[in-house]
Amino acid sequence: MAKPKLWTKEFLSISFASFFIFLIFYMLTVTLPIYITDELHGSGKNIGIIIPIFVVSAIIFRPFSGIWLDTIGQKKTLFIGVVIFLMGAFLYFPAKSMALMLIVRVIHGIGFGMATTATGAIAAHIIPKERRGEGMGYYATFMNLAMVIGPFLGLTIIGASGYETLFVFSAIFSVLAVVCTLMLKLPQPNRHKAVEDSMKKTIRLSDFFEGKTLPIALVAFALSFVYSGVLSFISVYARELNLVTAASFFFVIYAAFLLISRPFTGRWFDAYGENFVIYPCIILFGLGVWVLSQVSSSFMLLLAGALIGMGFGTLVSCFQTIAVHSSPASRKGIATATFFVVFDSGFAAGSFVLGIIATYTGYSAIFTIGSIIVLFSLGLYYLLHGRKAKGIMNNIESSI
């Protein structure tokens, strides 16, 4: 029997929309601290407020976005999100003070939270059930590519042309995200029923969060807590070790090995169950973080990038697939929002906590601690999801 088609116009449109949104996110995450210091004459304290406020704004609006996805519709929610995101991109031009920059980051973060919640839910919705693991893996690859291209492109632009050009490119990519959104054709929800249902009941916490998604989201929290240390401190750690040149290729190697493994891991997820992929990937991620703590050469730094790419890069798409699949069909938008609220919170908490620890212990120590947390996450995954998950034997038995 032929497999259902994966690479449809809708799948490509939502994947490229996600790519452009995350491309801007990574471009600005790397370059704005330099802009705040050089152009706005800000301090480290200013950077510590203006950069995280973007993620905090996104976290706050994700639960509302989940409700809107299941009521007013997926495309409309995404369109509103990308338009707000586009507005935020244009507002960087006149933001010449700390106060204005803070307001811009809040607006931009709201658009990011709405748009990325919507893209994840739409991708899970349009991918054929039989190819969900494979499809979500490819969808996540677009985000991974943005993570590699964004920092490189951002630093290249400000080095060659300056910050105004950076903001021009940010606006252009935002427009492209809007164009990709307009190309989507998605079914509309039953609005009358949605309004009727909302009038019949009082607002409850369950309207904003999907409880069935929380177990796998908590595992993702622990792992994103560790990965935030890799993303935030790899450049300064490499500078300490005189490996700055190698560090510039860290995420290139990360993406290369993720792309090499993606076709296999996605198919294995669908064929043999999540445990067959997730347990080895957690081990690879932990091993990569431990190698990072022991780095003494360029080869070891790049080896860590390869292991982390195959491990953490694969886990993100697997966890998102599980989060959506574990929820009722009518609550997939809320499930996506719940997953990313917890996942993003791990990043925010990790950057803050590990940054404090690094002040007293050094960067090598936080990666050692991180590898221990990843090892602990093996047991956490087993307790919260793995022991109940469908494994290879279940698939073999069901096929007999």
pLDDT digits (tens, 9 = 90+) for 217-254: 999 999 999 988 887 777 678 778 888 777 767 878 88
Distance of alpha carbon 227 from alpha carbon 363, whole angstroms: 13
Give me the mean pLDDT over the 13-29 stretch.
92
Distance of alpha carbon 341 from alpha carbon 208, whole angstroms: 11
pTM recorded for the entire structure: 0.71
Give me the mean pLDDT over the 357-374 stretch.
89
Residue 14 is encoded by which pair of tokens?
């939502």
User: At residue 73, what is the residue type?
Assistant: G
| Most confident by average pLDDT, 87-101, 132-146, 330-344 | 87-101
Distance of alpha carbon 11 from alpha carbon 1, whole angstroms: 22
| pLDDT the model gives residue 397 | 36
| pLDDT the model gives residue 272 | 83
In 3D, which of 136, 143, 79 has the Cα closest to residue 336? 136
In 3D, which of 190, 207, 175 has the Cα closest to residue 85? 175
Distance of alpha carbon 266 from alpha carbon 79, whole angstroms: 29
Give tens-digit pLDDT for 147-199. Answer: 778 877 887 888 788 899 999 999 999 999 999 999 998 766 555 555 555 44
Which CATH number describes the domain made up of 7-186?
1.20.1250.20
Distance of alpha carbon 70 from alpha carbon 337, whole angstroms: 11
In the chain, pLDDT over 70 holds for what percent of residues? Answer: 88
Confidence of residue 392 (pLDDT cuts 50, 70, 90): very low
User: At residue 225, what is the residue type?
Assistant: F
**Residues 6+ away with beta carbon under 8 Å from 200:** none
Give tens-digit pLDDT for 38-48. Answer: 888 876 567 66
Identical fold for domains 7-186 and 209-400, yes or no, is yes
DSSP-based three-state secondary structure for 8: coil
How far is CA 208 from each of CA 61, 63, 193, 339, rounded to the nearest angstrom? 10, 5, 18, 11
Asked whether 399 and 229 are in contact (CB, 8 A), the reply is no
Averaged pLDDT score across all residues of the chain: 82
How far is CA 9 from each of CA 74, 134, 164, rounded to the nearest angstrom? 16, 17, 34
| pLDDT the model gives residue 286 | 96
Q: What is the CA radius of gyration of the chain?
A: 21
Give me the mean pLDDT over the 342-360 stretch.
81
In 3D, which of 76, 158, 84, 165 has the Cα closest to residue 122? 76
For residue 396, pLDDT beyond 50: no
Residue in the structure block whose two tokens are 């038995």: 397
Of 339 and 289, the one with more pLDDT: 289
Please determine, looking at this structure, whether the domain spanning 209-400 carries the CATH number 1.20.1250.20: yes
Cα torsion at 251, 217, 134, 190 (round to 10°)? -120
DSSP-based three-state secondary structure for 295: coil
Residue 358 is encoded by which pair of tokens?
């690094």
Of 64 and 355, the one with more pLDDT: 64
Confidence of residue 394 (pLDDT cuts 50, 70, 90): very low
Structural domain boundaries of the chain?
A: 7-186, 209-400
Asked whether 147 and 251 are in contact (CB, 8 A), the reply is yes
